[in-house]
Amino acid sequence: MSQKLLQVNFKLKGSPSEYRAHCQSIAQAFADVPGLNWKIWILNEAEKEAGGIYLFEDERALAQYLAGPLPAKAKDNPLFADFTAKTFDVIEEATSITRGPIAAAAITA
């Protein structure tokens, strides 16, 4: 099975400090998502843009996440605008060479 990457971006309607506090308050909910190997939280304060990069163990885990409550809550959050989500396949061989953080996940999958 091939790992799947999800890239989420959105504009912030609130302040970057509010967003950082929000991230801290919900991080454990993301840590508990079945099949999510990791999430990197991203923030561009100057552009007031934020989002995340997620690595899922497979297509099934990604589909279950996208059908679940966390993405729905993000899309409905009044602090976020222009929400986009894109999925990608991971080119595991080349990513391993460039030290992408997938090796441990690939071994357990």
Q: Tens digit of pLDDT for each residue in 15-46?
A: 999 999 999 999 999 999 999 999 999 999 99
Terminal Cα-to-Cα distance of the chain (whole angstroms):
7
Show the domain range for 37.
4-108
Whether the pTM exceeds 0.85: the reply is yes
SS (HEC) of the chain: CCCEEEEEEEEECCCHHHHHHHHHHHHHHHHCCCCEEEEEEEEECCCCEEEEEEEECCHHHHHHHHCCHHHHHHHHCCCEEEEEEEEEECCHHHHHHCCCCCHHHHHHC
pLDDT at 101: 87
**pLDDT, position 102:** 81
Number of domains in the chain: 1
CATH number of the CATH domain containing 68: 3.30.70.100
